[in-house]
């Protein structure tokens, strides 16, 4: 009998908040967006590399492979989305039908992604974080949540399964975002006992230094939303160049955001807020 999935505990994944983004750390990143393999992150949407399109896996299921989208699982009230028009950078890749549209930069423990997942069950979202332990925590949490959802789906035929109230769950997750650095384990908000639209198949976390490699992952005009929540304020003047909002980085954000896309920013540090507003107002594309 397979072991029952368990949510990871934050206290085992603590890591200091400050990381030198200019250090020469080792990262895996694609040469260009079209070569990024998203299959390990979104197995319900892409076939794994090397899988045969017409064959079946050991579990009797048809294997999935990179570049092939599968219809996202939807809950009550979630209508199938219209096929998005691919931007120019993707039109030469007819098999690349599924693409990430939301990016949470510096996602921390991933509370926002987990809360947004059932609200946008047909939208792929990625949390990008430089701290290794936090990336590992979030991916383990996502894998556990998917396992819980698959178990509930298996039970649905034999008994009534309740669907989670995703709006109240979003409020709980967002209220806990500013305390995430203290590594306090979240209470179970119902995601382990109730079905949610999308079943968390549309979210993933990856370790990346966004201040160096963001354009390697996303094509021009690919993203519709970028989130930067409670970023490191870097109070010292000599550290301001490491802030997540600078003229150089705004150029990269503008490149990967589609026209009409939204850049979300939350901070509880007034100095950082004023810095961000000043640079956004001065940048012609925002």
Catalytic residue among 24, 232, 268, 271: 232
Choose among 42, 61, 44, 191: nearest CA to 116: 191
- Cα 175 to the chain's mean position, in Å? 19
To the query of whether residue 232 is one of the catalytic residues in this protein, the response is yes
DSSP string spanning 242-276?
A: GSS--HHHHHHHHHHEEEEEEEEEE-S-HHHHHHH
- Residue 88 CB neighbours (<10 A): 9
The whole-angstrom separation of Cα 234 and Cα 113 is 24
The whole-angstrom separation of Cα 149 and Cα 202 is 13
Helix, strand, coil share (%) of the chain residues, nearest 5: 30, 15, 55
Order the strands of the 223-229 sheet from edge to edge. Answer: 203-207, 124-129, 100-105, 223-229, 257-266
Residues tagged active-site: 232
């Amino acid at each position: 009998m397979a072991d029952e999935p368990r949510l990871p505990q934050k206290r085992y994944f603590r890591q200091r908040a400050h990381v030198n983004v200019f250090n020469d750390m080792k990262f895996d990143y694609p040469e260009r967006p079209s070569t990024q393999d998203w299959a390990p992150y979104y197995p319900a949407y892409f076939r794994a590399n090397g899988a045969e399109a017409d064959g079946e896996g050991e579990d009797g299921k048809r294997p999935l492979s990179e570049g092939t989208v599968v219809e996202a699982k939807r809950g009550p009230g979630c209508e199938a989305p219209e096929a998005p028009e691919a931007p120019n950078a993707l039109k030469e890749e007819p098999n690349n039908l599924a693409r990430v549209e939301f990016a949470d930069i510096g996602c921390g423990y991933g509370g926002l992604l987990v809360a947004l997942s059932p609200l946008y069950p047909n939208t792929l979202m990625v949390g990008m974080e430089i701290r290794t332990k936090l990336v590992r925590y979030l991916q383990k949490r996502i894998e556990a949540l998917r396992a819980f959802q698959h178990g509930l789906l298996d039970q649905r035929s034999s008994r009534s399964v309740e669907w989670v109230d995703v709006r109240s769950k979003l409020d709980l997750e967002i209220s806990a975002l500013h305390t995430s650095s203290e590594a306090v384990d979240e209470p179970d908000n119902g995601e382990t006992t109730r079905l949610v639209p999308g079943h968390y198949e549309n979210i993933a976390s990856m370790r990346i230094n966004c201040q160096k490699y963001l354009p390697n992952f996303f094509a021009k005009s690919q993203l519709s939303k970028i989130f930067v929540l409670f970023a490191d304020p870097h109070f010292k003047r000599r550290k301001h160049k490491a802030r997540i909002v600078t003229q150089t980085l705004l150029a990269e954000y503008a490149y990967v955001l589609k026209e009409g896309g939204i850049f979300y920013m939350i901070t509880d540090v007034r100095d950082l807020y004023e810095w961000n507003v000043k640079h956004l107002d001065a940048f012609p594309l925002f």
